[in-house]
Structure 1
Amino acid sequence: MTTVAIIDYGMGNLRSVAKAIEHVAPGHLVQVTSDPAVVAASDRVVFPGQGAMPDCMRELDLRGLRTAVLDAAASKPFLGICIGQQMLFDHSEEGEVAGLGILAGNVIRFREAEMLAADGARLKVPHMGWNEVWQAGPHPMWDGIPDGERFYFVHSYFVAPADEAVVAAQTAYGRRFTSAVARANIFAVQFHPEKSAHAGLRLLSNFIRWAP
Structure 2
Amino acid sequence: MRMLSRSIPVAALALSLSALPAAAQEPGNGNFQWYVGGQGGVMFFDTPTQDRTGIPTFGGQTLIVARRTGLLLSVEEGVGSDETSSYSDLSGTQTVTFNDIRRYSAVLMAFPIRAAAQPYLGVGYGIMHVVNPTPTSLAAFQSDAEELGSTGFGTFLAGITFQLGRFMAFGQYQITTSPSNSVVADADGNAVAFGRLLTGPTHTFSGGLRFGLGSARESVKTGGYK
The answer to whether TM tops 0.5 is no
More strand by share: 2
TM-score (norm 1): 0.25
Q: Which has the higher helix share?
A: 1
**Greater Rg, structure 1 or structure 2?**
2
The normalised TM-score by structure 2 is 0.24
